[in-house]
Amino acid sequence: MILRSTRRKITNIVMFTITGLCTFVAVSVLFFILGYLLWQGGQALNWNFFTKLPAPVGETGGGFANAIVGSAKLLMLAALIGIPIGFLGGVYLAEFGGQTTTFIVRYTTDLLNGVPSIIIGIFAYALIVVPMGHFSTLAGGIALGVLMIPITVRNTEEFLRSVPNTLREGALALGATKWRAVATVVVPAALPGITTGILLAVARVAGETAPLLFTAFGNRFWSPGWNQPTASLPDTIFKYAIAPYEDWNQQAWAAGLVLLSLVLATNIAARLILRRQTRTSRG
Protein backbone atom coordinates (compact mmCIF):
# COMPACT_ATOMS: atom_id res chain seq x y z
CA MET A 1 0.00 0.00 0.00
CA ILE A 2 1.39 3.31 -1.05
CA LEU A 3 1.09 6.00 1.54
CA ARG A 4 -0.80 9.05 0.41
CA SER A 5 2.20 11.17 1.20
CA THR A 6 4.46 9.02 -0.93
CA ARG A 7 1.99 9.18 -3.77
CA ARG A 8 1.97 12.93 -3.56
CA LYS A 9 5.73 12.99 -3.58
CA ILE A 10 5.82 10.74 -6.63
CA THR A 11 3.28 12.96 -8.39
CA ASN A 12 5.49 15.90 -7.58
CA ILE A 13 8.53 14.30 -9.18
CA VAL A 14 6.60 13.02 -12.18
CA MET A 15 5.02 16.40 -12.94
CA PHE A 16 8.38 18.06 -12.42
CA THR A 17 9.79 15.77 -15.10
CA ILE A 18 6.90 16.23 -17.48
CA THR A 19 6.88 19.99 -17.29
CA GLY A 20 10.65 19.93 -17.51
CA LEU A 21 10.32 17.95 -20.71
CA CYS A 22 7.87 20.50 -22.08
CA THR A 23 10.42 23.20 -21.43
CA PHE A 24 13.13 21.11 -22.97
CA VAL A 25 11.07 20.70 -26.13
CA ALA A 26 10.46 24.42 -26.38
CA VAL A 27 14.09 25.31 -25.83
CA SER A 28 15.45 22.66 -28.12
CA VAL A 29 13.34 23.99 -31.00
CA LEU A 30 15.39 27.15 -31.06
CA PHE A 31 18.64 25.27 -31.00
CA PHE A 32 17.39 22.96 -33.69
CA ILE A 33 16.49 25.91 -35.91
CA LEU A 34 19.83 27.58 -35.32
CA GLY A 35 21.78 24.40 -35.79
CA TYR A 36 20.03 23.35 -38.96
CA LEU A 37 20.38 26.79 -40.48
CA LEU A 38 24.04 26.90 -39.55
CA TRP A 39 24.62 23.51 -41.10
CA GLN A 40 22.71 24.09 -44.33
CA GLY A 41 23.25 27.80 -44.68
CA GLY A 42 26.85 27.83 -43.65
CA GLN A 43 27.73 25.80 -46.70
CA ALA A 44 26.40 28.38 -49.11
CA LEU A 45 27.61 31.44 -47.24
CA ASN A 46 30.46 33.08 -49.08
CA TRP A 47 31.64 36.46 -50.22
CA ASN A 48 29.54 36.27 -53.39
CA PHE A 49 26.43 35.99 -51.31
CA PHE A 50 26.90 39.43 -49.79
CA THR A 51 28.14 41.25 -52.85
CA LYS A 52 26.62 39.81 -55.99
CA LEU A 53 23.25 40.19 -57.63
CA PRO A 54 21.12 37.12 -58.30
CA ALA A 55 22.27 35.00 -61.21
CA PRO A 56 19.91 33.54 -63.80
CA VAL A 57 18.56 30.06 -63.32
CA GLY A 58 21.18 27.41 -63.65
CA GLU A 59 24.18 29.68 -63.15
CA THR A 60 26.07 29.68 -59.88
CA GLY A 61 27.81 32.58 -58.21
CA GLY A 62 24.76 34.72 -57.64
CA GLY A 63 24.13 36.51 -54.40
CA PHE A 64 21.69 38.36 -52.23
CA ALA A 65 23.26 41.78 -52.22
CA ASN A 66 20.17 43.58 -53.53
CA ALA A 67 17.91 41.75 -51.10
CA ILE A 68 20.01 42.85 -48.13
CA VAL A 69 20.06 46.47 -49.25
CA GLY A 70 16.37 46.29 -50.12
CA SER A 71 15.49 45.05 -46.66
CA ALA A 72 17.53 47.85 -45.12
CA LYS A 73 15.69 50.48 -47.15
CA LEU A 74 12.31 49.01 -46.34
CA LEU A 75 13.13 48.97 -42.64
CA MET A 76 14.31 52.58 -42.72
CA LEU A 77 11.01 53.60 -44.26
CA ALA A 78 9.04 51.45 -41.83
CA ALA A 79 10.86 53.03 -38.91
CA LEU A 80 10.13 56.50 -40.27
CA ILE A 81 6.43 55.74 -40.14
CA GLY A 82 6.18 53.35 -37.25
CA ILE A 83 8.33 55.16 -34.71
CA PRO A 84 6.71 58.61 -34.70
CA ILE A 85 3.16 57.33 -34.74
CA GLY A 86 3.92 54.53 -32.30
CA PHE A 87 5.94 56.62 -29.88
CA LEU A 88 3.72 59.68 -29.82
CA GLY A 89 0.60 57.52 -29.76
CA GLY A 90 1.98 55.72 -26.74
CA VAL A 91 2.79 59.04 -25.07
CA TYR A 92 -0.77 60.13 -25.65
CA LEU A 93 -2.19 56.97 -24.14
CA ALA A 94 0.03 57.10 -21.09
CA GLU A 95 0.14 60.81 -20.34
CA PHE A 96 -2.43 62.92 -22.07
CA GLY A 97 -5.41 60.82 -22.92
CA GLY A 98 -8.85 61.16 -21.44
CA GLN A 99 -10.99 58.23 -20.35
CA THR A 100 -12.95 57.51 -23.51
CA THR A 101 -10.33 58.51 -26.05
CA THR A 102 -7.76 56.31 -24.34
CA PHE A 103 -10.12 53.39 -24.43
CA ILE A 104 -10.90 53.89 -28.11
CA VAL A 105 -7.27 54.31 -29.12
CA ARG A 106 -6.14 51.34 -27.11
CA TYR A 107 -8.89 49.14 -28.48
CA THR A 108 -8.10 50.23 -32.03
CA THR A 109 -4.43 49.54 -31.47
CA ASP A 110 -5.21 46.04 -30.28
CA LEU A 111 -7.40 45.57 -33.34
CA LEU A 112 -4.64 46.71 -35.63
CA ASN A 113 -2.24 44.43 -33.81
CA GLY A 114 -4.46 41.48 -34.56
CA VAL A 115 -4.72 42.19 -38.27
CA PRO A 116 -2.82 39.50 -40.16
CA SER A 117 0.12 40.96 -42.01
CA ILE A 118 -1.17 39.74 -45.37
CA ILE A 119 -4.20 41.98 -45.00
CA ILE A 120 -1.98 44.97 -44.33
CA GLY A 121 -0.38 43.99 -47.61
CA ILE A 122 -3.72 44.14 -49.43
CA PHE A 123 -4.39 47.47 -47.76
CA ALA A 124 -1.09 48.91 -48.98
CA TYR A 125 -1.70 47.48 -52.45
CA ALA A 126 -5.12 49.10 -52.75
CA LEU A 127 -4.07 52.39 -51.22
CA ILE A 128 -0.62 52.91 -52.69
CA VAL A 129 0.29 50.51 -55.49
CA VAL A 130 -2.87 50.90 -57.54
CA PRO A 131 -3.09 54.72 -57.41
CA MET A 132 0.64 55.02 -58.05
CA GLY A 133 0.43 52.56 -60.90
CA HIS A 134 3.36 50.37 -59.95
CA PHE A 135 4.96 48.38 -57.16
CA SER A 136 7.50 50.21 -55.06
CA THR A 137 9.74 50.25 -52.04
CA LEU A 138 7.50 53.01 -50.72
CA ALA A 139 4.46 50.76 -50.65
CA GLY A 140 6.39 48.00 -48.94
CA GLY A 141 7.86 50.37 -46.40
CA ILE A 142 4.48 51.82 -45.54
CA ALA A 143 2.99 48.34 -45.11
CA LEU A 144 5.80 47.42 -42.71
CA GLY A 145 5.45 50.75 -40.93
CA VAL A 146 1.76 50.14 -40.27
CA LEU A 147 2.72 46.74 -38.88
CA MET A 148 5.18 48.37 -36.51
CA ILE A 149 2.69 50.86 -35.06
CA PRO A 150 0.68 48.70 -32.62
CA ILE A 151 3.78 47.03 -31.20
CA THR A 152 5.49 50.37 -30.62
CA VAL A 153 2.40 52.01 -29.12
CA ARG A 154 1.81 49.25 -26.65
CA ASN A 155 5.45 49.08 -25.70
CA THR A 156 5.85 52.83 -25.24
CA GLU A 157 2.69 53.05 -23.16
CA GLU A 158 3.77 50.19 -20.96
CA PHE A 159 7.17 51.63 -20.19
CA LEU A 160 5.82 55.13 -19.63
CA ARG A 161 3.28 53.78 -17.19
CA SER A 162 5.99 51.92 -15.34
CA VAL A 163 7.74 55.18 -14.50
CA PRO A 164 6.84 55.85 -10.85
CA ASN A 165 4.43 58.67 -10.24
CA THR A 166 6.86 60.19 -7.77
CA LEU A 167 9.04 61.31 -10.68
CA ARG A 168 6.12 63.00 -12.39
CA GLU A 169 4.95 64.63 -9.21
CA GLY A 170 8.48 65.79 -8.44
CA ALA A 171 8.76 67.51 -11.78
CA LEU A 172 5.36 69.11 -11.46
CA ALA A 173 6.15 70.22 -7.93
CA LEU A 174 9.21 72.04 -9.25
CA GLY A 175 6.94 74.04 -11.52
CA ALA A 176 7.23 72.22 -14.78
CA THR A 177 4.25 72.17 -17.06
CA LYS A 178 2.88 68.80 -17.95
CA TRP A 179 4.48 68.55 -21.34
CA ARG A 180 7.85 69.54 -20.01
CA ALA A 181 7.54 67.04 -17.22
CA VAL A 182 6.75 64.33 -19.71
CA ALA A 183 9.41 65.39 -22.19
CA THR A 184 12.27 65.98 -19.82
CA VAL A 185 11.61 63.57 -16.96
CA VAL A 186 9.20 60.77 -17.74
CA VAL A 187 10.30 59.91 -21.25
CA PRO A 188 14.03 59.86 -20.45
CA ALA A 189 13.28 57.61 -17.49
CA ALA A 190 11.46 55.16 -19.74
CA LEU A 191 13.79 55.59 -22.70
CA PRO A 192 15.80 52.34 -22.35
CA GLY A 193 12.61 50.32 -22.44
CA ILE A 194 11.15 52.33 -25.28
CA THR A 195 14.24 52.06 -27.46
CA THR A 196 14.42 48.36 -26.76
CA GLY A 197 10.83 48.04 -27.83
CA ILE A 198 11.47 49.95 -31.04
CA LEU A 199 14.48 47.82 -31.85
CA LEU A 200 12.44 44.68 -31.25
CA ALA A 201 9.61 46.00 -33.43
CA VAL A 202 12.05 46.68 -36.27
CA ALA A 203 13.51 43.21 -35.88
CA ARG A 204 10.04 41.78 -35.97
CA VAL A 205 8.98 43.46 -39.23
CA ALA A 206 12.36 42.66 -40.76
CA GLY A 207 11.21 39.09 -41.07
CA GLU A 208 7.77 39.79 -42.50
CA THR A 209 7.19 38.44 -45.97
CA ALA A 210 3.46 38.49 -46.61
CA PRO A 211 2.95 42.26 -46.78
CA LEU A 212 5.79 42.57 -49.27
CA LEU A 213 4.40 40.08 -51.77
CA PHE A 214 2.25 42.61 -53.53
CA THR A 215 3.85 45.86 -52.53
CA ALA A 216 7.60 45.64 -52.93
CA PHE A 217 7.12 42.86 -55.48
CA GLY A 218 10.75 41.75 -55.80
CA ASN A 219 13.63 42.74 -58.05
CA ARG A 220 16.50 40.91 -59.69
CA PHE A 221 18.55 44.09 -59.84
CA TRP A 222 19.40 47.03 -57.64
CA SER A 223 16.41 49.17 -56.88
CA PRO A 224 17.22 52.88 -57.11
CA GLY A 225 15.28 55.39 -55.04
CA TRP A 226 11.94 54.58 -53.51
CA ASN A 227 9.71 54.20 -56.53
CA GLN A 228 10.80 50.90 -57.93
CA PRO A 229 10.10 47.36 -56.80
CA THR A 230 12.77 45.95 -54.54
CA ALA A 231 14.06 42.62 -53.42
CA SER A 232 14.07 41.86 -49.73
CA LEU A 233 15.54 39.10 -47.62
CA PRO A 234 12.35 37.34 -46.48
CA ASP A 235 10.69 37.63 -49.90
CA THR A 236 13.70 36.18 -51.74
CA ILE A 237 14.02 33.43 -49.16
CA PHE A 238 10.43 32.46 -49.81
CA LYS A 239 10.84 32.41 -53.59
CA TYR A 240 14.10 30.48 -53.47
CA ALA A 241 12.87 28.01 -50.87
CA ILE A 242 9.96 26.76 -52.94
CA ALA A 243 12.03 26.59 -56.12
CA PRO A 244 13.24 23.24 -57.42
CA TYR A 245 16.75 24.46 -58.20
CA GLU A 246 19.39 23.11 -55.83
CA ASP A 247 21.56 26.19 -55.79
CA TRP A 248 18.54 28.41 -55.10
CA ASN A 249 17.56 26.21 -52.16
CA GLN A 250 21.11 26.45 -50.84
CA GLN A 251 21.02 30.22 -51.10
CA ALA A 252 17.68 30.27 -49.31
CA TRP A 253 19.31 28.53 -46.37
CA ALA A 254 22.19 30.96 -46.35
CA ALA A 255 19.85 33.93 -46.52
CA GLY A 256 17.74 32.41 -43.75
CA LEU A 257 20.84 32.12 -41.61
CA VAL A 258 21.75 35.75 -42.23
CA LEU A 259 18.24 36.99 -41.51
CA LEU A 260 17.88 34.91 -38.38
CA SER A 261 21.30 35.97 -37.09
CA LEU A 262 20.47 39.63 -37.56
CA VAL A 263 17.07 39.29 -35.93
CA LEU A 264 18.36 37.26 -32.99
CA ALA A 265 21.38 39.50 -32.50
CA THR A 266 19.12 42.56 -32.36
CA ASN A 267 16.82 40.83 -29.91
CA ILE A 268 19.59 39.65 -27.62
CA ALA A 269 21.39 42.99 -27.69
CA ALA A 270 18.21 44.97 -27.04
CA ARG A 271 17.14 42.83 -24.12
CA LEU A 272 20.58 42.76 -22.54
CA ILE A 273 20.87 46.54 -22.78
CA LEU A 274 17.47 46.90 -21.19
CA ARG A 275 18.41 44.60 -18.35
CA ARG A 276 21.62 46.42 -17.66
CA GLN A 277 19.87 49.80 -17.77
CA THR A 278 17.09 48.80 -15.40
CA ARG A 279 19.62 47.29 -13.07
CA THR A 280 21.78 50.44 -12.95
CA SER A 281 18.82 52.79 -12.70
CA ARG A 282 17.43 50.84 -9.80
CA GLY A 283 20.82 50.61 -8.11
Partner 1 sequence: MQPTTTATDGPGARRRARTFTGQLQNGDRIAHFTTFIFAAAIIVITVVLFYELYASSSLTREKFGWRFLTGATWDPVALEFGALPFIYGTLVTSILALIIGVPLGVGAAIFLAELAPVRMSAVLAFIIELLAAVPSVIYGLLAIFTLVPFLRDYIAPVLEGTLCFLPLFQGASYGFSLLAGGCILAIMILPFIISISREVLLAVPREQREASLALGATRWETAWHVAVPYARPGIIGSIFLALARALGETMAVTMVIGNAPRINLSLFAPGYSIAAAIANEFSEATSNMHVSALIELGFVLFCITILVNAVARLLILMTTRKGSAA
Partner 2 sequence: MNRVASILAIALFCTGCSDRPKTDVVYSDAPAGLVLINGAGATFPYPIYSKWFDQYHRLFPQIQINYQSIGSGGGIRQVIEGTVDFGATDSPMTDAQLREAKTKILHFPTVLGAVVPVYNIPGITEEINGITEINFTPDALAGIFLGKITKWNDPELKRVNAGLNLPDKGIVVVHRSDGSGTTYVWTDYLGKVSPEWKSKVGVNTSVNWPAGLGGKGNEGVAGLIKQTPYSIGYLEFIYAIHNKMAYGRVRNSDDNFVKADLDSVAAAAAGVKTIPADFRVSITNASGHDSYPISSFTWLLIPSKIPVPAKKEAIVDFLNWMLDDGQQMVEALAYAKLPKELVEMEQKAIASIE
Can you tell me which of 213, 216, 231, 254 binds partner 1, judged by CB under 8 A? 213
Q: How far apart are CA 49 and CA 61, in angstroms?
A: 8
Give the chain's length: 283
245 forms beta bridges with: none
**171 interacts with partner 1 by CB under 8 A:** yes
Q: How far apart are CA 246 and CA 70, in angstroms?
A: 24
Span of 49-57, 87-95, 158-166, 222-230 interacting with partner 1 by CB under 8 A = 87-95
Q: 246 vs 282, which CB is nearer to partner 2?
A: 246
Neighbours of 158 (CB within 10 A): 16
Can you tell me which of 179, 221, 222, 245 binds partner 1, judged by CB under 8 A? 179
**117 interacts with partner 1 by CB under 8 A:** yes
Q: Considering only residues 222-281, where is the footprint of partner 1 by CB under 8 A?
A: 234, 237-238, 241-242, 252-253, 256, 259-260, 263-264, 267-268, 271
Q: 85 vs 260, which CB is nearer to partner 2?
A: 85
217: helix, strand or coil: strand
Binding at 80: pick from partner 1, partner 2, none (beta carbon under 5-8 Å per type): partner 2
Contacts of 247 (CB under 8 A, 6+ apart): 44, 60, 62
Shortest Cβ 245–partner 1 spacing (Å): 14
**25 interacts with partner 1 by CB under 8 A:** yes
Binding at 49: pick from partner 2, partner 1, none (beta carbon under 5-8 Å per type): none
230: helix, strand or coil: strand
Q: How far apart are CA 255 and CA 89, in angstroms?
A: 35
What type of residue is 78? A
Point out which residues bind partner 2 (CB under 8 A).
55-58, 77, 80-81, 84-85, 88, 129-135, 138, 142, 145, 179, 183, 217-222, 224-229, 242-245
**132 interacts with partner 1 by CB under 8 A:** no
Its sign, for the CA torsion 94, 97, 102, 105, is negative
The stretches of 57-215 forming alpha helices (DSSP H) are: 65-91, 99-114, 117-124, 130-132, 137-161, 165-173, 178-181, 187-206, 210-213
Q: 55 vs 85, which CB is nearer to partner 1?
A: 85
Binding at 101: pick from partner 2, partner 1, none (beta carbon under 5-8 Å per type): partner 1
